[in-house]
Structure 1
Amino acid sequence: MLNTQVQASTVQEPLSEGAVLAAAEQAAGLSDWGADQSFRIGLKELLRYAEAFHPSPELRARTYNWVVQILVTKLHLIDDEKIYPEILQERIESPLIVVGLPRSGTTILFDLLALDPASRSPREWEISMPWPAPEQATFDTDPRIAAMQAAFDQILEAAPGMRDIQRLDARLPGECNAIMSHHFASLDFAALLPVPGYDEWFIRNRVPGQYPAHRRILQQLQWRGPRGRWLLKSPVHLFDLNGLLDTYPDAQLVWSHRDPTKTLSSISSHIHTLHTALGSGIGKDAIGAEQWRNWRTCLEAGLKAREENPAVEEAIFDIANRDLLRDPVAAIASIYGHFNRVFTDQFAARIAHFMAHHEAAGRVGRHRHSLTAFGLDESDIRTTLAPYYQRFGQLC
């Protein structure tokens, strides 16, 4: 496990690429950054926007610690490739990938699909700390599980409202947002750090190497860890469905649909809860405008890819969140039927048990939020997203 944490008083100002790279090299005892250093593109932007916010010493230290942790991991992954070149031969075949706007039911869909005994989903703890490579024999007892849960518990202590918004369990499947943070190409940074501007840069630019870097993490997790057919999830894939399929040409995509007027108020409330705990001082109207810009761009990019690339359109199965909640077993069975996957009685029983007994299922519908609280207008959203409503309104 990695320990690169420093106190706020020891972080140099301003944050710089050279400083964090040097700190990572010292912590890891390694200095080879590999042939592809496209990760530096996002790194530079993240540090630039972090400093533009004029962060407090505590927020600067939070950013520094997270960045150095990622860089130390990257150095170790590259070192692993040299010692164990077979890692790069690991094949990621026919992954099932959940997409759709955030707060559109993608997480409950993801959790239910992960109940298939034949599937392999990346757990929160191993995504955050993929080095050393997870081992199948110790997968359920790895000490990184407790470390990740402790970090989640700190978030819940600072922001108790998150309990009704998002499940934070180190053992449950984690999103590709966290995987892509290892390439500094993730909206997780904007959610957990005061870096206004980074998210706008991210949504306007496709970072070279982001999906090969994503695949590299999966290879690391699969190499010595549990095997199965990969199940993945993230709304951010809608920004670059073409890039996703370039790296995973046999991917099968499930697009979860829910009325954007509901998802936008929900994600705005989610981000506001996190930033309140963080003490960023970013107001509700600013958060609402930011989320509206981000996810409007995301939705438009996803629709454009479907319209222009037949391979993207062919790879997608559309599902209504309301249908999933009304009859989860039938909804999951319809996905499996579409992609010619085997849907077993054991899987169906697991879905029914989860919905009846798991805390994550009980959370559905508890989160209260509104558009007006974040300065957003329903009619404006419906007008701007008219092409989406015209095609998928029946699924909302």
Structure 2
Amino acid sequence: MIIPAHAEVHLPLTVEGVLRTAEHHARLSDWGRDQSFLLGLERLVAAAEAFGPTPALRAAAHNWIVELLVMRLHMVQDENRHPEILAQQIEKPLVVLGLPRAGTTILYDLLSLDPDSRAPREWEIVRPWPAPEVESFGTDPRIGQLQDSYDSILAISPEMNDIHRLDATQPGECNSIMVHHFASPNFAALLAVPDYDEWLISLDRVPGRYPAHKRILQQLQWRGPKGHWVIKAPVHLLDLEGLLETYPDAQMVWTHRDPVLTMSSISSHIYALQKALGSGMEKADIGAAQWRNWRKALLAGTRTRTEIPAVEQAILDISNRDVIVDPVGTVERIYAHFDRPFSAEFAEGIRHFVRHHKGAARRGKHRHSLEEYDLNGEVIRRELDEYYQRFGHLCQTLDR
């Protein structure tokens, strides 16, 4: 940990307090030219105060925020000392889109198996400073530190592995990258701060979020392994135009699965996380928040494609069913669409992974229902009619 375990937690939480604490620990005070991160920081701190988390959660929130700020200070120092960091080119990133629980993770895993790819790993996303290096990439102590944290969660809530595996070396999501800009749904999922969640989803665009996202990838690419970037986050659906402005040659794959089948799964995932961390909200409240958020995301993504031809041209649509039934063929189709070379080595890597994944999937069953989270399938279909009209033919999945 960057912040000592015995670090004092100042009450109440204030923006000034966490900024000064971070400066004290880092012994640095240059926050860089772009300080748009303060917008999300202010909202997060205010939401944590308003919701009144438990003392343990308050301490966790404080230390997490300060740790993020300490890393930001050090990364600003890095770029001041090494201007070549900001010259790093992020070219033709392959971006996985789609609702959570709609096959995005399995597709992300498959695309990350390409020997010529570079997917950011959980441990380096969580702590991108010091910059990861090729020589120590597989033995970096941050791997064990993060895995210890994950194991603590699994000790409390072992069913988490039936929902989403927790492995420090697995490909990490852009939600965790956006944490560094204080503009990520992870805060609401882990800390149960509904005011922050409502603020974040109310924005059509978060100032500075995608430039900050690129800055993290530059940090990881600078001294780390090279390859074409593969990244993933359902939240990208909310601002496809902003993503393309920062990565104009991005190649995007949108996986589709019936939202009626995904919404309770998403809610169950959030509930399990909050249960493990002691930040639980009522199931009905979780369901309402997730439906609000992902309804907006699906409609925003659908409408942006209609309104902006460049976004439409950058996206390939696939069915979650195709990923499950024919993973090699589906990935090969993606590569052909974007004119990328597809090697025999890559194909065999996919086959090997799928054999292992199928065996692991039989170890547990993730059980959930719409009714459990006060959700209604008819309402979902009615309010997402615009999405179903265009993509309904891709939503016929193995669940039926």
> What TM-score comes out, normalization by structure 1 length?
0.97
- Alpha-carbon displacement from aligned partner over 1:285-310 (angstroms, at most 9, x marks no partner): 11100100010011111111111100
**Match status 1:372 vs 2:367:** no
- Alpha-carbon displacement from aligned partner over 1:31-87 (angstroms, at most 9, x marks no partner): 000111000000000011111111121111010011001000000000001111111
Which letter maps to 2:277? L
Separation in 2, partners of 1:127, 1:5 = 21
Counterpart in the other structure of 1:327: 326
SS at match of 1:197: helix
Separation in 1, partners of 2:311, 2:254 = 12
Counterpart in the other structure of 1:3: 3
Separation in 2, partners of 1:155, 1:364 = 18
Q: Which residue, 18, 36, 52 being the options, matches 1:20?
A: 18
Counterpart mapping for 1:1-396 below 5 A: 2-6=2-6, 10-205=8-203, 206-358=205-357, 362=361, 366-396=365-395
Separation in 2, partners of 1:143, 1:81 = 23
Answer whether contact 2:3 2:63 (CA < 8 A) is retained.
no
Which letter maps to 1:89? A
SS at match of 1:89: coil
Instruction: Label 1:141 to 1:363 Cα distance change in 2 as closer, same or farther (>3 A).
Output: farther
Answer whether contact 2:134 2:225 (CA < 8 A) is retained.
yes
SS at match of 1:255: strand
SS at match of 2:159: helix
Counterpart in the other structure of 2:398: none
Instruction: Label 1:14 to 1:286 Cα distance change in 2 as closer, same or farther (>3 A).
Output: same
Separation in 2, partners of 1:95, 1:168 = 24
Deviation at 1:280, TM superposition (A): 2.5
Moved over 6 A (4+): none
Instruction: Label 1:150 to 1:363 Cα distance change in 2 as closer, same or farther (>3 A).
Output: farther
SS at match of 1:21: helix
Separation in 2, partners of 1:367, 1:318 = 26
Separation in 2, partners of 1:370, 1:15 = 37
The percentage of counterpart residues that share the same residue type is 60
Which letter maps to 2:3? N
Instruction: Label 1:319 to 1:276 Cα distance change in 2 as closer, same or farther (>3 A).
Output: same
SS at match of 2:253: strand
Separation in 1, partners of 2:229, 2:363 = 25
Answer whether contact 1:98 1:110 (CA < 8 A) is retained.
yes
Separation in 2, partners of 1:13, 1:360 = 48
Deviation at 1:362, TM superposition (A): 2.4
Separation in 1, partners of 2:359, 2:114 = 17
SS at match of 1:12: coil
Deviation at 1:156, TM superposition (A): 1.2
Answer whether contact 2:137 2:224 (CA < 8 A) is retained.
yes
Answer whether contact 2:153 2:277 (CA < 8 A) is retained.
no
Query: What is the alpha-carbon root mean square deviation over aligned residues?
Result: 1.4
